[in-house]
Structure 1
Amino acid sequence: MEPFSFASSESLDYPVSIRIINLEGAEAPVKFSTLLDNPELRHIGSNQSVHSDLYITVQVWAGSKALTVPVQTAYKSFRTERRWNEWLTLPVTYSTLPQNSRLAITIWDLSPTATEGAQGHAIPFAGTTLALFDKDNQLHKGHQKCHVYRHRQADGNDDSITPAILPMSKTKKGVPGDVEVDEQDRMEKLFKKHEMGEIPRVDWLDQLVFRGYEKRRQQSAKSSLRMAQRQKAAQTDASKGGEDASSLPEPSSFMLNIELPRFDFPVVFADHEYPPPPVSSYLQPSSSQSNIVLKPPPEVQLGPGIDAVDDDEGYGGRLIRVYDPEVAAKDNPAENKHRRLVRGQHRNGILDKDLKPNAKVRDELNVIMAYSPTHTLSPEEKDLIWKFRHHLTRNKKALTKFAKSVNWQDQSESRQAAQILGKWTDIDVDDALELLGPTFDNSAVRAFAVDRLRKADDQELLLYLLQLVQALKYEHISPQSGHEVTQDSSLARFLIARAANSFTLGNYFWWYVMVECDDKSQDQGPDNQAIYGKIAYDFMTELVKQPGGEETRTTLKRQAEWISILSKISGEIKESNESIAKRTERVKHFLADPRNELVTIDPPLPLPLDPSVEIIGVVPEDTVVFKSSLHPIKVSFKTTAGRKYPILFKTGDDLRQDQLVIQIIALMDDLLRKENLDLKLSPYKILATSTSAGLSQFVHSMSLQGITSKYRNNPALAYLKQNNPDSQGPMGLRKETLDTFVKSCAGYCVITYILGVGDRHLDNLLLAPDGHFFHADFGYILGRDPKPFAPAMKLSKEMVDCMGGSNSEHYRQFKQYCFMAYSALRKNGNLILNLFTLMANANIPDIKLEPDKAALKVKERFHLELSEEDDALRHLERIMDDNLNALVPVVIDKLHELVQAFRA
């Protein structure tokens, strides 16, 4: 089949228009004797003159009901023919038209006396009804010849008795003159094709055809007039003879010529289809069933006799699947009653406070307490926790399990649970973060979690600030602008207060909130922007109340102006088609221009990327424009400490996923240091300033790909030797440098394995001159990878060779560091899982693909189901050995090198 291009009517946001051209045709004048018998007919304009003044109204109908008010032509005086040649615009767009839309066109005559069907002094001269869509659901376009019905007002009903286009059954075969009518119809179709450009234009030949057709049309009009007179006489005789004429009106000899808009492509009717609502929109699940995975509506299956296959196998036969939206979202009556009976025994009993478990029950409770945050409790486990709730108040790990076991919809149970929360011992931060997730919507539970966060200092709070800003989506904050968000949410009140009292916290809090305000995607919706807009307003209101708050507000405003200046030049460079050298010179000239206020920044401006660094001016000569598709710009700024701080600024890319990964790496580095394990990690700073722009700290380094192309044998070791030579050190290298390399390799291997970082090749493995190894470009996480058979852990041959080979002492030390790091991070697995749970609705690409499985994918890498520590470490060792001996990663690196060389 040939390709067919068309547009859908739902996307055509254009008003319905129609051009009234002219009315052609004639009829025999009313006899003088008839005028004498009916004096009121003498005053009708069309009975006085063949070219009397008429006007036309057009109205859109659908479903036998009027959709719009009628639109009328302007007054026009006719001399030789009735020609309006006027465009009318109707108050409705094509995108909102139903499939059965019709144009009801009525031609109105004038008379000072009222007659049947008159509206004031206007009486219907003729009417016609034209369907806007044809039988193939295509929109009519171009010239149209419409049959009109004398003395009738157009009706827009679905079964109209005034159709503009006659069906085939209406044609009168065998009647004299049919050959002439068929010839005219054929010529009309050819003229329409000629107008649409389907027939090539030949001016001299077209003129001959047009003149010949005009003469033929005039002759046909005269003959049709004579035929009309004979038909009228025959109808009169039949009525006198008492014959029963047809009840349906017949078209007159008049034809109304109109024109509809033409479009480049055929317009096909397409109604707007609303997606099926998710199950959760019918009925919110109770908190006791909050961990149930709600299934989407199944696909509609055809039942028996409805295009169904006569096959008992599969769903096309006699089996019909019925969709019940209340499944998994409504309490099971039997389970609900069972819960009330069981908990009724242990609701207000005095003995419950002194109830203690025996050894067997205590072991069962310990197993339940060890469950990960993603584990779903069974009804029996929930009842057991409720029974010993007073005993468990001394166990800080039991609070989240207790909160999951409570039916918060039951007012009596909810009230007692809230009282018990006040008696609970202090909990850890990871449990507090779990209580702020989407699973818990009770205000008392969330307020309890916020009280725990109050004990954290600013440095610790900064580690989780990105997730806490996302947790505001699960608060009961109204998007309406009625009152402050601090009255709705204890978390919002806490974050605003802490951010207003600390400039570093306030800096990051402000930019995290600004990115949410900038997110206009359908995944977030307008309510999300309204909520974060209210939070930003309340933060600024609280800020000015603090000592020095006005200066802080001015600083944040200056940061936004600084970002907009860099965004302007970055956007221009990205869109230009110049060479890299010209782009670089253009950026340098822009930065050196005093009008852009970057040469000297006074007073010093704290960097949004790192508020502890204050910049005083730009260094234009250090500017670099990179060759990648988005052309990020490296810009260096002078700081108050007398140093240079290079940054990368990029537009056209969403850096929120990279920002999340760097934040998790920084958190893991902090957790490892608390275990006295410093693996020399260097998580460079990244800050998304909008959904399509951001800043990144530039670290002086070289990719392993670049090192490999520069050095032949053992390239990484040769690179480090050149920068850190020591003839007395191991392998001719400074001991501190080699130690830094081994530790940082171990740290990043374990962390990127846990996070499932994909698309690892030698171009995004970087090595600093001092031995710090690190990863860059986190476009694929949680196990996603564009390359087939990608390894679970990136451990390249270049890294192992630099350590002295797989049999060296340094490689054995590397494996020990990996085991120690993996073991330490598994102990804090719940914290990391809770952080990913809070990011479920953050609109991050690799998380929003399966938001409910993001934390589960990280949990799989931790292997928390392996109770023995040695089993988990042996599993990690197998992964390392498999990757070291695999051939596929080497092939992938070589292919990537060839592709990059070809692009260059």
Structure 2
Amino acid sequence: MAPRPSSGELWGLHLMPPRILVDCCLPNGILVSLECLREAPLTSIKQQLFSEARKYPLYHLLQEESCYIFVGVTQEAEREEFYDETRRLCDLRLFHPILKVIEPLGNREEKILNREIGFAIGMPICEFELVKDPEVQDFRRNILSVCREAVEEREGGGAHTQALYVYPPNVESSAELPQHIYSKLDKGASASQLSLCLKCSVTHRWNEWLSYDIYLTDVPRSARLCLSICSVKGRKGAKEEHCPLAWGNINLFDYKDTLVSGKVALGLWPVPHGLEDLLNPIGVSGSNPNKVSMRAVCLCCRHYCVNIPESLPKLLLSVKWNSRDEVSQIYCLLKDWPLMQPESALELLDCNFPDPMVREFALRCLIQGLTDDKLSQYLLQLVQVLKYEMYLDNPLARFLIKKALTNQRIGHFFFWHLKSEMHNKTVSRRFGLLLEAFCRACGMYLKHLNRQVEAMDKLVNLTDTLKQEKKDETQKVRQKMLLNTYRHESAQAYLYTYRMLLQTNFSVFLCLRLEECRIMSSAKRPLWLNWENPDIMSELLFTNNEIIFKNGDDLRQDMLTLQIIKIMENIWQNQGLDLRMLPYGCLSIGDCVGLIEVVKNSHTIMQIQCKGGLKGALQFNSNTLHHWIRDKNKGEAYDRAIDLFTRSCAGYCVATFILGIGDRHNSNIMVKENGQLFHIDFGHFLDHKKKKFGYKRERVPFVLTQDFLIVISKGVQECTKTKEFERFQEMCYKAYLAIRQHASLFINLFSLLLGCGMPELQSFDDIAYLRKTLALEKNQQEALEYFTKQMNDAHHGGWTTKMDWIFHTIRHMPNEH
């Protein structure tokens, strides 16, 4: 039986054996078998090989050792030349332990660079060179000129600009609150024509013309032909069931603005799980379609709309894009249209606006008003909307890669946002080309990226091995043996002097503290990793840094939720409301692989309650949390801790309610020793809450139990009658109304990620939950009354939350750390 595919050190094996027999093919035709250590570098193997070759015939035909390199076949079925002879045998990812000795041909430096780039992006560069599509080759050539301009800008200013590139200041660029217009929330129908063109027989073939009632001169520049193949199942008289099989899209105009003609071979894509709406790929889009009368009003008032720049999305959704006259009028308006705020212009980059002129205008707004810190804040969405671009070479791609090459912090996350999507075949070519251009121009930083990629690959191999272990009495012994493998000095070379992916301060190098690392108890076997900071000034920053490495969980929803919480915090701070949120670091780096920052000196509510004995663990004593905070903070620190708890609790109550965060048991809420509360694990949002026998387990809009109210009221049992509780309510009301004023921003940010494939963000019906919680159909007073009712339901129904916590504690108390 053929060995199973593996991402490990050898085909079929996550970890290579300590000693392995390697077959080496010499240029003189002699085959030499060597017993090598898995951690042996290629230099050592070459010396051992040539020493052994002296014992074989035809040795005199060989040249000096330095004249040769090794070549092998990797697990991707690619022939790779190994120029870097410091690499270890276990790092080569060979298909089979066979190495061939050859004389290198061609440009050595170029081949080394191509190998490093291919390793960083996860696919060999030669795949791009074999693509015959002229758009790919033109893009590779043209994007390099953009990279060259960015590098000249980065290095042209001398030490000052280079320092700003490596150490970009992490400060707020402006203290002014942007002016937002709220009348653009409603979206309309996209210009599309959907009709049944023909019925296919069981022969699965047809050859006829498709006729559309549109003149060729009226075909919009952004038009595309969308095909969807589906099966129909149903008996006579019964309702037919449609099952999507595959889909594909063709741009009617190519990247040179030429109408596509002739025969086109279109490879279809499989339908993603749960996306049945792909049966109608060009159907109505938007959360609130425009009515015909509203469209007519917008078009009639288009010249007046110029005075309201943020009304542009509303106007564009009213345009008949299959009418040349209307499109030409809009193009004339765009030339004189005032620039919009960057947050408003983001909406013009989603799938509802494919027209190149519109997207180019949106990018001008971003270039004019988007600072580097704001760009970092919205980078997740901007990378994802690259999927909506019609062509490889587009203004947004040029803008992002230029920013990535002039700001190392942006470049770092730009690389990993693209890298994490490389498993998605629908975008791997587009993102791979961008990664290639970035890696060619990022200079010495490429080596650091490769160290990070290598470290992540090794950790994936380790967790894959751990997940296969059986739960028996020898499990801990075997896991300890596996960790001991990584204690060897050469084996952990990829983890030492390793730049932390979650840190924004890239100047700090960290060393792994193996004695503090452990394997967590959950089924995915996440790793708790602890790095120390060897800097002599580390006591002023941090002496160590802890992260959780997860392999098997999709962290994109966590990453999005934490991003939204961070934006909420910025909005509150700009309005003078400091709610002390704690959006810890989280980064998805691959297919269900990612990193989570561990917050120092923090404990789960369950851990704290268990310290209060059986009564605390079983929710009979609601004073345990307050007693714990009081014991950790003496004197004046106690008042500061209560104030910190009150502020952070108010912030998370509002945030979790608006976003519909679910699964809020007492292991997903944590408190720092200084009193700061925060939530973790955002695997369920937008009201996709867990159900039991068809009923939602969580029956309150957000968590506000008696435990929290006692802390807020400083231990008073009649919590709701205290001034502290009134102050807490006032904070919640102000926070809710502040976010409601920026509702369009949050709806836009979620809309831009509809194409990500997140399991709980796949349609506008999911985003409609935000409109509900923000009460956008009500005026401000009605919205405040609505939120007040939700808050009353939360603390009056707190007993239901505590019941859920009891069952969770009983089930998980032995495994809680």
Give the TM-score range, shorter chain: 0.5 to 0.7
Kindly report which structure 2 residues correspond to 1:641-790, keeping only aligned pairs within 5 A, or say none: 641-642=537-538, 643-700=543-600, 701-711=602-612, 712=616, 713=621, 714-726=623-635, 729=636, 734-787=638-691, 788-789=695-696, 790=698
1:593 aligns with 2:593: no
Q: 8 Å contact 2:761–2:767 — kept in the other structure?
A: no
Match of 2:702 in 1: 793
Match of 1:567 in 2: 460
* Unaligned segments of structure 2, at least 5 residues: 1-200, 205-209, 244-284, 714-718
Match of 2:787 in 1: 876
Q: How far apart are 1:807 and its partner, in Å?
A: 2.3
Q: 8 Å contact 2:222–2:355 — kept in the other structure?
A: no
Residue 476 (structure 1) aligned to one of 383, 390, 393: 390
CA distance in 2, matches of 1:807, 1:749: 19
Query: What CA deviation, in whole Å up to 9, does each residue of 1:630-667 have, x standing for no partner?
Result: 12111111234522111111112221121111111112
Query: What CA deviation, in whole Å up to 9, does each residue of 1:566-618 have, x standing for no partner?
Result: 2232333333337675467446534432112449834xx43222231522311
Query: What CA deviation, in whole Å up to 9, does each residue of 1:399-427 have, x standing for no partner?
Result: 11111122223233222212211211221
Match of 2:287 in 1: 374
1:814 aligns with 2:699: no
Match of 1:620 in 2: 514
Match of 1:802 in 2: 711
Residue 557 (structure 1) aligned to one of 450, 469, 472: 450
Q: Could you say if the C-alpha distance between residues 623 and 902 of structure 1 is closer, same or farther in structure 2, counting changes exceeding 3 Å?
A: closer
Count of aligned pairs between the two proteins: 536
CA distance in 1, matches of 2:212, 2:505: 49
Q: Could you say if the C-alpha distance between residues 272 and 621 of structure 1 is closer, same or farther in structure 2, counting changes exceeding 3 Å?
A: farther
SS at match of 2:721: coil
CA distance in 1, matches of 2:509, 2:649: 33
Q: How far apart are 1:847 and its partner, in Å?
A: 1.4
Query: What CA deviation, in whole Å up to 9, does each residue of 1:256-302 have, x standing for no partner?
Result: xxxxxxxxxxxxxxx9999xxxxx99999999999xxx999997665
Alignment-mate amino acid for residue 630 of structure 2? K
Q: 8 Å contact 1:287–1:439 — kept in the other structure?
A: no
The structure, 1 or 2, with the larger RCO (C-alpha pairs under 8 Å, 6+ apart) is 2
Q: How far apart are 1:684 and its partner, in Å?
A: 0.6
Query: What CA deviation, in whole Å up to 9, does each residue of 1:378-410 have, x standing for no partner?
Result: 222222222222222121221111111222232
CA distance in 1, matches of 2:356, 2:433: 20
Query: What CA deviation, in whole Å up to 9, does each residue of 1:724-773 have, x standing for no partner?
Result: 122xx5xxx62111111011111111111111111111111111111111
Match of 1:385 in 2: 298
Alignment-mate amino acid for residue 847 of structure 1? L
SS at match of 1:636: strand
Larger radius of gyration: 1
Match of 1:403 in 2: 316
Match of 2:759 in 1: 845
SS at match of 1:763: coil
SS at match of 1:637: strand
Match of 1:540 in 2: 439
CA distance in 1, matches of 2:469, 2:233: 50
CA distance in 2, matches of 1:843, 1:463: 21
1:451 aligns with 2:345: no
Kindly report which structure 2 residues correspond to 1:511-522, keeping only aligned pairs within 5 A, or say none: 511-519=416-424
Q: 8 Å contact 1:797–1:884 — kept in the other structure?
A: yes
CA distance in 2, matches of 1:321, 1:573: 43
Match of 1:494 in 2: 399
Q: How far apart are 1:464 and its partner, in Å?
A: 0.8
Q: 8 Å contact 2:286–2:764 — kept in the other structure?
A: no
Q: Could you say if the C-alpha distance between residues 810 and 514 of structure 1 is closer, same or farther in structure 2, counting changes exceeding 3 Å?
A: same
Query: What CA deviation, in whole Å up to 9, does each residue of 1:828-861 have, x standing for no partner?
Result: 111110111111110111113xx23222122211
CA distance in 1, matches of 2:490, 2:463: 17
SS at match of 1:845: coil
Query: What CA deviation, in whole Å up to 9, does each residue of 1:665-719 have, x standing for no partner?
Result: 1121122222221111011111111112111101131111111111244111111
Match of 2:415 in 1: 510
SS at match of 1:445: helix
Residue 527 (structure 2) aligned to one of 618, 624, 633: 633
Q: Could you say if the C-alpha distance between residues 585 and 295 of structure 1 is closer, same or farther in structure 2, counting changes exceeding 3 Å?
A: closer
Q: 8 Å contact 1:649–1:695 — kept in the other structure?
A: yes
Q: Could you say if the C-alpha distance between residues 289 and 649 of structure 1 is closer, same or farther in structure 2, counting changes exceeding 3 Å?
A: closer
CA distance in 2, matches of 1:322, 1:706: 50
Query: What CA deviation, in whole Å up to 9, does each residue of 1:130-162 have, x standing for no partner?
Result: xxxxxxxxxxxxxxxxxxxxxxxxxxxxxxxxx
TM-score by structure 1 length? 0.55
CA distance in 1, matches of 2:202, 2:434: 35
Q: Could you say if the C-alpha distance between residues 298 and 576 of structure 1 is closer, same or farther in structure 2, counting changes exceeding 3 Å?
A: closer
Q: 8 Å contact 1:754–1:862 — kept in the other structure?
A: yes
CA distance in 1, matches of 2:373, 2:437: 23
Alignment-mate amino acid for residue 648 of structure 2? S
Q: 8 Å contact 1:580–1:627 — kept in the other structure?
A: no
State, as a whole percentage, how many aligned pairs show the same letter: 26
SS at match of 2:554: coil
SS at match of 1:770: coil
RMSD over aligned Cα atoms: 3.5
SS at match of 1:550: coil
Residue 767 (structure 2) aligned to one of 855, 858, 879: 855
Q: How far apart are 1:619 and its partner, in Å?
A: 1.2
Q: How far apart are 1:902 and its partner, in Å?
A: 7.5
Q: Could you say if the C-alpha distance between residues 272 and 891 of structure 1 is closer, same or farther in structure 2, counting changes exceeding 3 Å?
A: farther
Match of 1:63 in 2: none
Q: 8 Å contact 1:587–1:623 — kept in the other structure?
A: no
Query: What CA deviation, in whole Å up to 9, does each residue of 1:409-458 have, x standing for no partner?
Result: 32332222122112112212232111000101100000111111113111
Alignment-mate amino acid for residue 536 of structure 1? L
SS at match of 1:516: coil
1:423 aligns with 2:351: no
Q: How far apart are 1:555 and its partner, in Å?
A: 1.8
Kindly report which structure 2 residues correspond to 1:123-138, keeping only aligned pairs within 5 A, or say none: none
Q: 8 Å contact 1:435–1:445 — kept in the other structure?
A: yes
Q: 8 Å contact 1:569–1:590 — kept in the other structure?
A: no
Match of 1:227 in 2: none
Alignment-mate amino acid for residue 333 of structure 2? I
SS at match of 2:298: helix
Q: 8 Å contact 1:470–1:839 — kept in the other structure?
A: yes
CA distance in 2, matches of 1:598, 1:686: 24
